[in-house]
Amino acid sequence: MKHEILDVVTREWDSALYNQAVSTFNRVAEHMGLDENVAERLRVPQRAMMVTFPYRLDDYSEVESVFGYRVQHVLTMGPTKGGIRYAPDVNLGEVAALAMLMTWKCAIVGLPFGGAKGGVRIDPFNLSRTEKQRVTRRYITEIINFIGPNKDIPAPDMGTDAQVMAWIMDTYSQQIGHSVPAIVTGKPPALGGSEARREATGRGLVSLLPLAAHHRGVKVEGARVVVQGFGNVGRYAALAASELGCTVVGVSDHTCAIYNRSGIDVADAMAYVEKNRVLEGFQGGDVIDGDDLFKLDCDVIIPAAIGGVITPEVAEEITASIMIEGANGPTTPLADPILNDKGVLVVPDVLANAGGVTVSYFEWVQDLQNYFWSETEIVGRLREIMNKAFDEVMSIATREKTDLRTAALMKGIRRVADAKLARGVFP
């Protein structure tokens, strides 16, 4: 953080993802003739908190200070819900954009939450386990009055995982004086975490693959799939796709990209990453340039890493007929029309990756009731919610003669706008 205080205020909102989220919102709001009074209210978050805090390095050589954020976009629908991201380029605008996407996502699948998001501007790959624990506990202490099981419930996102959620649950519970499992979702099952939460986002998005394939006339068995990102979302999406009978021909992470025409053994790749943290050095295929991943000859691409990777130039090169967005905001607004003109069926992030927050919702409900469901119940309910949302979005798209992103956002924005209008303006 050193020396960056002066221009921090201007830079904080300067985020490509926020501009992308607002411009997409504006386009859809205009298309649906949304009341401008409501639209204005939804463009900016209701609450945004920014903190700075120190953490000590393991070798006692330095105390580093970092920036942390928590943004609650809409408080109208119930408590707010959204992940916490640790990444070197996190800023207020990015977190605000992700909180907005969470609002639409929850509304599209019918969950009783508004959107939130949190983040710490830090590179998680440079932290030891103990440093990460200290960062997490201090960050949560800084935002503790902002969150709560009936207020705002965090979850994992990029750079955070079940262990980080466990530290959050412990830090919050220590301050409150008793265990509060419902403060966070995506926890280990031993602490009240739900069965099937870890795999939920990847599995949820791949549950839409057969529906999308049916619409595009693509055969699921043997369909060639490419996945960018081999973290929580990417690896379980790749695994679920291979379990469906697809051939996963390409995978990548921030260290390398691997191609294997006859199919990558996803379980092997997962075991390798479990041991080595990254894909670099994995021998299950040829190493290719990461920029060439989306150019591979394939049927389905699943961007499941970072935002803004499908630019107009990348869109021009895509050969796949289906794209299912695992990451949040992977497609830039200018790339969308190119994909649509090429006839690529894009299943948008707000629908495709909603499996994570859906099982998080199940986890929260189970924690509040202290009554836990079986994996079979959870997977069945997840599939039911995802399939229903897909069918509803598809029928809006057919009725409105529009793409799935516009249709999904129309559904989500309509629900939130109706709730706002029903509650009225206070006082």
Binding mask 388-407 for ligand NAD (x = CB under 6 A): --------------------
- The answer to the question of residue 229 lying near ligand NAD (CB under 6 A) is yes
Which of the stretches 45-53, 59-67, 250-258, 262-270 binds ligand NAD when contact is defined by CB under 6 A? 250-258
- The answer to the question of residue 159 lying near ligand NAD (CB under 6 A) is yes
Question: From the list 28, 116, 246, 305, which residue makes contact with ligand NAD (rule: CB under 6 A)?
Answer: 305
Cis bond before residue 427 (omega within 30° of 0): yes
CA-to-CA distance for 115 and 328, rounded, in angstroms? 13
- The answer to the question of residue 68 lying near ligand NAD (CB under 6 A) is no
Do the Cβ atoms of 341 and 61 come closer than 8 Å?
Answer: no
Annotated catalytic residue 187: no
Q: CA dist 47 to 42, 51, 72, 117, 145, Å?
A: 12, 13, 5, 11, 13
In 208-276, at which residue ranges do the beta strands (DSSP E only) sit?
224-228, 247-252, 257-259
Pick from 71, 73, 67, 63: nearest CA to 51: 67
- The answer to the question of residue 356 lying near ligand NAD (CB under 6 A) is yes
The one-letter amino acid at 218: V
Nearest distance in Å: CB 383, ligand NAD: 17
Q: Which residue is nearest to ligand NAD (CB)?
A: 231
Which one, 39 or 308, has the nearer CB to ligand NAD? 308
- The answer to the question of residue 25 lying near ligand NAD (CB under 6 A) is no
CA-to-CA distance for 108 and 416, rounded, in angstroms? 10
Burial class (CB in 10 A: 0-12, 13-18, 19+), 108: buried
Cα radius of gyration (the chain)? 21
Nearest distance in Å: CB 157, ligand NAD: 5
Burial 360-377 (b: 16+ CB within 10 A, else e): bbbbbebbeeeebbeeee
What six digits make up the tokens of 311?
A: 């630019």
Catalytic residue among 117, 132, 187, 420: 117
- The answer to the question of residue 158 lying near ligand NAD (CB under 6 A) is yes
- The answer to the question of residue 199 lying near ligand NAD (CB under 6 A) is no
State the DSSP string of 373-385. Answer: --HHHHHHHHHHH
- The answer to the question of residue 195 lying near ligand NAD (CB under 6 A) is no
- The answer to the question of residue 326 lying near ligand NAD (CB under 6 A) is yes
Report 254-293 residues binding ligand NAD (CB under 6 A).
254, 290
To the nearest 10°, report the CA torsion of 23, 5, 87, 416. Answer: -40
Nearest distance in Å: CB 356, ligand NAD: 3
Which one, 347 or 417, has the nearer CB to ligand NAD? 347
Number of residues forming the site for ligand NAD (CB under 6 A): 24
- The answer to the question of residue 91 lying near ligand NAD (CB under 6 A) is no
Q: CA dist 310 to 49, 158, 343, 378, 394, Å?
A: 30, 18, 15, 32, 22
Which one, 76 or 328, has the nearer CB to ligand NAD? 328
Which one, 14 or 123, has the nearer CB to ligand NAD? 123
- The answer to the question of residue 136 lying near ligand NAD (CB under 6 A) is no
- The answer to the question of residue 327 lying near ligand NAD (CB under 6 A) is yes
- The answer to the question of residue 333 lying near ligand NAD (CB under 6 A) is no
CA-to-CA distance for 248 and 301, rounded, in angstroms? 10
Q: Which residues bind ligand NAD (CB under 6 A)?
A: 156-159, 201, 228-234, 252-254, 290, 304-306, 326-328, 353, 356
Give the residue numbers annotated as catalytic, written as ranges. Answer: 117
